Structure 1
Amino acid sequence: MIYLKIDGKEIHAEPGMTILQAADANGIYIPRLCYHKALSPIGSCRLCVVEVKPGPPRPVPSCTTPVADNMEVTTRSERLDRYRREVLQLLLINHPLDCPICDKGGECELQNMVRELKISEQPYQAVKLVPKYDNLSPLIERYPDRCVNCERCVRVCRDWVGAAALYFDNRGYRTTVTAGGPVMDCEFCGSCIAVCPVGAIVDKTFKYSARAWELEKEPAVCPYCGGGCHLFLNTKHGKLKRVTSSFDEPVNGGIICSRGRFSLNILEHPERLTRPMLRKDGSLQPVSWEEAFDFVAGRLREIREKHGPEAIGGVGSPRATNESNYVFQKFMRLVVESPNVDATPSLDHQKILRAFVEVMGRPRVQRTEAGGPEPGRIREVSGFQLAVGSYEDLRRADTVVVLGADVKKEMPPYAWHINQAQKHRTLKNLVIVSSRGTRMRSAAQWNGYCRPGSYGLVVVGLLKVLFEEGGLSTHEYGEFLGGRNLEAGLARLSWAEVEAHTGMSRDELSVVAHALKEAERPSLIIGCDLAGLREGYETGCYVADLLLFLGRKLKVHLVSEKANHQGCSDMGVSPYWLPGYRPFDKADAVAEVWGKRPPAGPGLTLMEMIGAAAGESGRSLRALLVMGTNLLATLPNRRRTQKALENLDLLVCQEVFLNETAAMADCVFPALTSVETGGTVTNTEFRVQRQLGRAFVEGPRADWEILQEIGARLGTPMAYGGPEEILEEIQRLFPHYEQYPLKEMPREGFLWNQLHRAKYGSTTWKRKLDPTLEMAAPDLPPHVRPSEDRPFLLFLGKSLFQSGTLTRYGLGATELEAEGRFLFHPEDARELGLQEGDRVVVHAAAESLEGPVGIDKRMARGSVGASLHFADLPVQLLTEDGNLCPVRIEVKRAEG
């Protein structure tokens, strides 16, 4: 500990801290412009200078000067104030006097310092620079004459976002920040807006709509991807005006993406559903809540009595809160008495979770015997969750292997933490294996390219290398005894076969295997390219084998497209397990809490429900309850899904907007978004976070409230008084969630796979993988490959600006990416005679679809990229299962 004085106040500081950091930690303000706590200090503005004894006779920048024992620091004196006035007056030579109309008014750091230092005149003159304003870029405007060249925007774009879209041009007096052209070409995350101390970079959507002092800030968790980013909803008279972030947040460090910053206008969108609707005379018509509840309850009762409870299925939502998903699966199992519960995460993310559960075991807590009403102390915790890494693990990793993911598009927070790890030099080795180019390939130390759809054999190849070179030393590698069957199976697989299918040589696979094996703190990111394959579950089993082989040192990080993919699975919205991953044959605790034993499982999966409704199996599905999911825009084989929905006797949707699926429903309930629903959500690092919940429109209700009302009419009231009571019940069934009551939950939430609170007993309890676990060796189905008549592979990926069908209504998302396109590699486009904007017809086995062409050098040769997010390009018409489909390309020639 270091002891010093600042302005006569005795304080202590940690070694390595700067004077500015020590002052901030003790509530002593030192003026600054270029310094920002989220960025490395550069000491360029010279406004934070202080006088130091002992030290040089001249003032020194406090942002770069480290503290020392017995140091005496003066932050305010006539000399320092005079110095700062001169610096500010020089900055004001070209600064316009437009404070009354500048949107930074009230939170402008330059304005505040000018007022504080009582600058009322400008003694300096110089040749006026001619600014090049940017009012053409979407969502962002730039005013270079307001810029103070602090470099904050350049540094946050380079060091945090990893885009390097802004940089300095020219030198000396003519230095200016440029984007390389009159219009910005970037990710439009708006981080430059967040760090700009003046009004040089402003939010176009906020312009002239409110003043900073008029706004109230309400914390929320972003409802889009599974990153769980913290943000603030800035409201005026209850109306949303803009979205900002705080750099005090531990989850995303103050950085949010374009979706979170510019597409939350959906909360007040004029097309939001506000009244229940029933189908009458062939069309949906507004009705009262009572009529809608009575209709749905009556029809469910009729179908259950006539066809049995298993004729009813339920689809939960990765967009809804944990509490709503818990009540949903309880409603299906307890009220309807049907085991048919699933959700869209089963198409990708849950495939990997299911493999982990099967191979590495379910979450389990072993306690000592209790001596009273309190539970015993924790003795041991085991299960797959111990292998899942946090953002902190990613920042501390010395090696990161990314397998089947473009993390910048699919999970931006992963990219931000990787950028920080590289900046601080903790991350020595970034290895990317993908079937396409990714936005982080230039930051990687090694890039490997595999054939589309071959990720299963890539993982098998990694295991083959490790077994051949590392043997089965449980002391050196994993904490398992099983594995000999897998080793024998790997030995039977020839390297020629692995290389032929993956397109990667043994030497290339060895690079990846050695990177994981030799690292002290390795992390493995598993993306949607892998999880979304039709053989995603089998591939996930081999990923679990890899985790067992390398043991506790390897952490895995899963990509999830929607905000509560993880929580949806935790709550038991799955045909394979009950809440907390509890197996159906161990449902005693559930029966004790619910007062009734749930139906035996497993039930029908989502795709099996669609097949049963479409008449493709011996089982019949007559009714489907869908909570916050657009099935027609999400599931493969859209014709089949549409046929299934048309065949139903009853389709009920709980939705925010009237999407394609809701438009087919017999009853539609208007639902609140997760941001507006009190409760919790769980992000991809297993972090449980609280949503305070405040409705932005009148009419909609929380999903769990809607279900509870129907349940009461069916004779099984659940009678929850609020999300607090639901969470308490969740905690009784899933002790990993029992760390905080809802109202006491800290802003950063908690990681449920890290039981850390003192009430759990000794800190010496063991975290271990069950040593009796057997490695899995499932047969990998043949991966999808092109054929002679369909020589291209259609690949369904993710969008940088869109996130599911919800962002179709987002201002920023529609501004940045308004339509869907078929993406081609430039060489493929040249051979086909295609240019940007041309149109093609893509022919699959049974369907064809016409759409515009986009050129993307990141696409693999011989593949065509597309996204599910666009209503004008329903690419799920072409796919049968998984995210790959062989297709033929027909070029549409312009007439005349």
Structure 2
Amino acid sequence: MPTCKVDGKEVEFENGMTVLQVCEQAGAEIPRFCYHERLSIAGNCRMCLVEVKPGPPKPAASCALPAGDGMEIFTDSEMVRSARNGVMEFLLINHPLDCPVCDQGGECDLQDQAMIFGRGFSRFDEDKRAVKEKYMGPLIGTVMTRCIHCTRCVRFSTEVAGVTDMGLLNRGEHAEISTLEKAVSSELSGNVIDLCPVGALTSKPYAFNARPWELKKTESVDVMDAVGSNIRIDTRGNEVLRVLPRLNEDVNEEWISDKTRFAVDGLRRQRLDRPYIRKDGKLTAASWDEAFAAIAEAVKGKSGSEIAAVAGDQVDVESMYALKALLASLGSNNVDCRQDGAKIDNTHRGSYLFNSSIAGIEEADALLIVGTNPRWEAPIINARIRKQWLTGGLKVGLIGSNLDLTYDYDYLGAGPDSLKELAAGKGDFFKVLKGAKNPMIIVGSGAIARADGAQVLAAAKAVADKAGMVRDGWNGFNILHRAASRVGGLDIGFVPEKGQDVDSMLNGVVKGEVKVVYLLEADEIDTSKLNNAFVVYQGHHGDKGAHAADVILPGAAYTEKSGTYVNTEGRVQVSRVAAFPPGEAKEDWAILRALSAKLEKTLPFDSLTDLRNKMRGEFPHLAEVDSVSAGNWGDFGVAGDMAPGAFENPIENFYMTCPISRASETMAQCTQEVVLNVREATGTNA
């Protein structure tokens, strides 16, 4: 390996590394504003100057200079210090004295680097430049006079998010970042706020709410989709003020979706904070004892076949485990975590996992997408696909709705006929899959949540088998879930072995065969079919399920409880308590434990630790936090004819998919300004 010296210290490095990377490897601190590991090199800010020998007798920008064998690099010479002082002085020429009122204050790169590398005074006496504020939508606030034109935001939106809404206008003193006064049409746009090093782009919903040193920071996981993005929840008192990404190279790198970041204001609105009982057609406030007594009276005398339970999309595994145990004690196996009616079961774990892993997308060279819109269902995964596509090493084919996914693909058709052709080993794209080193298929709920979902699943498996997607060291068969609770529910068997699934339950209610339905945060089912049953709703928002309930039990949102979640690839992660539930609301497992005692079916645990020990004893892989257990592989799906209808996208509005996001004023603004405006302009449902 080549070697060079950094401040007299000899360092080995890999070919292709830049001087900046070699210096960091040697432990030398190099200041920078425009450089970012995940973005292309721009060389705009000139803050990363170093002295290099042999070389010209002037400072060099280390971010754009390839390291060479035998180089001598100096990061703290007199030449370097003087050059950095000068660059910082130029950067601050037009920067306003905004620090006391700037939302970036306390976590600002410009503040930190000015303290370390600045002169401490300025020789500039002329008038400062002022730049008009820019409109970038309901999420991004701007103070463009602060902008130093590092272009991180432009490069992120173009390269990672895959949209061309942001750009640099004009040159020299007249240069300005702009979106031409329109909202950024990306589901990842909020990440430019983290990338901005100077406070020119800030969070509009969070503006002037708090200083970073006032906030309690809690590491947790996101439940807005099934990716399981690692997040940090910042709270003041008992109020969640913002959500930021945490670094996890295997899951979300350092990005999160806009819904993850901005929907948290929905945690403060339409909350359920005390039990309710429906009397004379109206919900009235009640005590916990009264609510439990009403449920006990409704359950009394009912057989197990007359009782059913549905778990929602954001339920932790512990709560589902407790609810399943409660229904089993009542003699019922009518439990289901598949609100959307997906035709998958838990016979073979490999049949419902994203088997290649999220990071494994970067090893694929051919990809077939079936019945899913990953840009809306999992923006982080879509960004990974685009990242691999940008290398030129990934060919993509799509069966389903013709969409803008931010990368090019071969459109193969809208429905099952195209999938059937590939399953038979026919078509040009099958040759691409067959000839690929690491072929991959991603099947979404738009394909498997149909009446013929089991047949679609079998056809997708046939494509995987014939194209050689499953072999030692590689499994390219992937199911893309939308619900954070789905894989965990399947893992613990929260599906009917001999009981009724969601569709059968609802039909049973209509026929009068199912008389008690327990909805655990389940809001995405057809509640109009529940009129003939006694409905118990346990959840945190007054959403669809609560409107249909006869008894409401107030539960905790994901920021208010410690719970296990298993993401779409099967990675076990644990959320942590960042705030406490409002009013009389309780953690879900505790409500179920208390209810079981009232029903005289006391569950065998008295604490969350007891529950977890029992759950992990029965399902040992749930104890392996932040790891992925490979799924077993076998025959699944049902061979047969598929219905001719096209695969439809299950999400009509990215910004409102759950009770929290539907309660969010910020997401309502995004719906109006991004989704509805696009539909109005294009005349489509894009």
TM-score, normalized by the shorter chain, greater than 0.5: yes
Q: Distance in 2 between matches of 1:712 and 1:5?
A: 70
Q: Secondary structure at the match of 1:685?
A: coil
Cα RMSD (Å): 2.9
Q: Distance in 2 between matches of 1:232 and 1:774?
A: 38
Q: Secondary structure at the match of 1:647?
A: coil
Q: Distance in 2 between matches of 1:188 and 1:196?
A: 14
Q: Secondary structure at the match of 2:569?
A: coil
CA drift of 1:246 comes to 3.4
Residue 784 and residue 135 in structure 1: after superposition, are their counterparts in 2 closer, same or farther (change >3 A)? Answer: closer
* Partner residue in 2 for 1:265: 265
What amino acid does structure 2 have at the position aligned with 1:303?
G
Q: Distance in 2 between matches of 1:526 and 1:384?
A: 11
Are 1:465 and 2:425 counterparts?
yes
C-alpha contact (below 8 Å) 2:370/2:399 kept by paired residues:
yes
Residue 215 and residue 324 in structure 1: after superposition, are their counterparts in 2 closer, same or farther (change >3 A)? Answer: same
Are 1:422 and 2:389 counterparts?
yes
Are 1:629 and 2:522 counterparts?
yes
Q: Distance in 2 between matches of 1:424 and 1:794?
A: 30
Are 1:727 and 2:612 counterparts?
yes
* Partner residue in 1 for 2:180: 180
* Partner residue in 1 for 2:439: 522
* Partner residue in 2 for 1:119: 119
What amino acid does structure 2 have at the position aligned with 1:714?
L
C-alpha contact (below 8 Å) 2:354/2:570 kept by paired residues:
no
Q: Secondary structure at the match of 1:123?
A: coil
Are 1:647 and 2:642 counterparts?
no
* Partner residue in 2 for 1:751: 628
What amino acid does structure 2 have at the position aligned with 1:342?
D
* Partner residue in 1 for 2:356: 389
Q: Secondary structure at the match of 1:51?
A: strand
Residue 784 and residue 40 in structure 1: after superposition, are their counterparts in 2 closer, same or farther (change >3 A)? Answer: closer
Which of 291, 310, 315 is the aligned partner of 2:310?
315
Residue 88 and residue 769 in structure 1: after superposition, are their counterparts in 2 closer, same or farther (change >3 A)? Answer: same
Q: Distance in 2 between matches of 1:536 and 1:645?
A: 24
Are 1:563 and 2:563 counterparts?
no
* Partner residue in 1 for 2:244: 244
Q: Distance in 2 between matches of 1:678 and 1:774?
A: 34
Q: Distance in 2 between matches of 1:417 and 1:695?
A: 32
Q: Distance in 2 between matches of 1:265 and 1:774?
A: 41
Provide structure 2 residue ranges, at least 5 long, that are not aligned to the other structure.
Answer: none
Which of 508, 511, 514 is the aligned partner of 2:428?
511
Are 1:604 and 2:490 counterparts?
no
Q: Secondary structure at the match of 1:751?
A: coil
Q: Distance in 1 between matches of 2:361 and 2:410?
A: 18
Runs of 4+ residues deviating >4 angstroms: 1-5, 8-16, 66-71, 124-130, 182-186, 773-776, 793-796, 818-821
Which of 396, 399, 414 is the aligned partner of 2:366?
399
CA drift of 1:27 comes to 4.5
C-alpha contact (below 8 Å) 1:169/1:178 kept by paired residues:
yes
Are 1:799 and 2:661 counterparts?
no
* Partner residue in 2 for 1:342: 336
Residue 6 and residue 820 in structure 1: after superposition, are their counterparts in 2 closer, same or farther (change >3 A)? Answer: closer
Q: Whose Rg is larger?
A: 1
* Partner residue in 2 for 1:275: 274
Structure 1 stretch displaced more, 273-282 or 104-113:
273-282
What amino acid does structure 1 have at the position aligned with 2:628?
L
Q: Distance in 2 between matches of 1:240 and 1:14?
A: 44
Residue 668 and residue 544 in structure 1: after superposition, are their counterparts in 2 closer, same or farther (change >3 A)? Answer: same
C-alpha contact (below 8 Å) 1:263/1:807 kept by paired residues:
yes
CA drift of 1:4 comes to 4.8
Which of 317, 322, 329 is the aligned partner of 1:327?
322
Q: Distance in 2 between matches of 1:80 and 1:102?
A: 30
C-alpha contact (below 8 Å) 2:277/2:284 kept by paired residues:
yes
Q: Distance in 2 between matches of 1:557 and 1:180?
A: 39
Q: Distance in 2 between matches of 1:385 and 1:279?
A: 39
C-alpha contact (below 8 Å) 2:264/2:660 kept by paired residues:
no
CA drift of 1:9 comes to 4.7
What amino acid does structure 1 have at the position aligned with 2:563?
G
Q: Distance in 1 between matches of 2:645 and 2:149?
A: 52
Structure 1 stretch displaced more, 80-89 or 810-819:
810-819
Q: Distance in 1 between matches of 2:319 and 2:422?
A: 40
What amino acid does structure 2 have at the position aligned with 1:693?
V
Which of 570, 579, 584 is the aligned partner of 1:686?
570
Provide structure 1 residue ranges, at least 5 long, that are not aligned to the other structure.
Answer: 364-382, 467-509, 577-601, 755-767, 786-792, 824-835, 838-852, 860-864, 867-896
C-alpha contact (below 8 Å) 1:284/1:666 kept by paired residues:
yes
What amino acid does structure 2 have at the position aligned with 1:707?
L
What amino acid does structure 1 have at the position aligned with 2:478?
H
Q: Distance in 2 between matches of 1:262 and 1:775?
A: 38
* Partner residue in 2 for 1:235: 235
C-alpha contact (below 8 Å) 1:545/1:776 kept by paired residues:
no
Are 1:410 and 2:377 counterparts?
yes
What amino acid does structure 2 have at the position aligned with 1:319?
Q
Q: Deviations 1:543-569 (Å, cap 9, x if unpaired)?
A: 122223323355123232222222222
Q: Distance in 2 between matches of 1:533 and 1:561?
A: 15
CA drift of 1:32 comes to 0.8
* Partner residue in 1 for 2:590: 705
Q: Deviations 1:333-381 (Å, cap 9, x if unpaired)?
A: 1x21101111334513xx1x33xx6xxx624xxxxxxxxxxxxxxxxxx
CA drift of 1:774 comes to 9.0
C-alpha contact (below 8 Å) 2:441/2:476 kept by paired residues:
yes
C-alpha contact (below 8 Å) 1:318/1:568 kept by paired residues:
no
Structure-2-length-normalised TM-score = 0.91
Residue 94 and residue 464 in structure 1: after superposition, are their counterparts in 2 closer, same or farther (change >3 A)? Answer: same
Q: Distance in 2 between matches of 1:797 and 1:254?
A: 25
C-alpha contact (below 8 Å) 1:321/1:677 kept by paired residues:
no
C-alpha contact (below 8 Å) 2:307/2:334 kept by paired residues:
yes
Q: Secondary structure at the match of 2:207?
A: coil
C-alpha contact (below 8 Å) 2:354/2:569 kept by paired residues:
no
Q: Distance in 2 between matches of 1:154 and 1:702?
A: 43
What amino acid does structure 2 have at the position aligned with 1:420?
K
C-alpha contact (below 8 Å) 2:348/2:633 kept by paired residues:
no
C-alpha contact (below 8 Å) 2:218/2:577 kept by paired residues:
no
Q: Deviations 1:738-790 (Å, cap 9, x if unpaired)?
A: 5x3xxxx3xxx111227xxxxxxxxxxxxx855xx59952233x3349xxxxx
Q: Secondary structure at the match of 1:669?
A: strand
C-alpha contact (below 8 Å) 1:318/1:564 kept by paired residues:
yes
Residue 339 and residue 293 in structure 1: after superposition, are their counterparts in 2 closer, same or farther (change >3 A)? Answer: same
Q: Distance in 1 between matches of 2:228 and 2:113?
A: 35
Q: How does 1:472-871 map to 2 (within 5 A)?
A: 510-549=427-466, 550=468, 551-552=470-471, 553=474, 555-576=476-497, 602-615=498-511, 620-630=513-523, 634-635=524-525, 638=526, 641-642=527-528, 644-648=529-533, 650-698=534-582, 699-738=584-623, 740=624, 745=625, 749-753=626-630, 769=633, 777-780=639-642, 782-784=643-645, 797-818=651-672, 854=680, 856=682, 859=684, 865=685
Residue 142 and residue 167 in structure 1: after superposition, are their counterparts in 2 closer, same or farther (change >3 A)? Answer: same
Residue 184 and residue 459 in structure 1: after superposition, are their counterparts in 2 closer, same or farther (change >3 A)? Answer: closer
Residue 12 and residue 322 in structure 1: after superposition, are their counterparts in 2 closer, same or farther (change >3 A)? Answer: farther
Residue 107 and residue 806 in structure 1: after superposition, are their counterparts in 2 closer, same or farther (change >3 A)? Answer: closer
What amino acid does structure 1 have at the position aligned with 2:301?
I
Q: Distance in 2 between matches of 1:721 and 1:61?
A: 61
Q: Secondary structure at the match of 1:750?
A: coil
* Partner residue in 2 for 1:493: none
Q: Distance in 2 between matches of 1:207 and 1:820?
A: 21
C-alpha contact (below 8 Å) 1:259/1:812 kept by paired residues:
no
What amino acid does structure 2 have at the position aligned with 1:322?
V
Q: How does 1:40-119 map to 2 (within 5 A)?
A: 40-67=40-67, 71-119=71-119
Q: Deviations 1:695-722 (Å, cap 9, x if unpaired)?
A: 3433321222111111122333224344
CA drift of 1:575 comes to 0.9
Q: Secondary structure at the match of 1:661?
A: helix
Q: Distance in 1 between matches of 2:609 and 2:14?
A: 40
Structure 1 stretch displaced more, 621-630 or 54-63:
54-63
C-alpha contact (below 8 Å) 1:340/1:605 kept by paired residues:
yes
C-alpha contact (below 8 Å) 1:524/1:554 kept by paired residues:
no
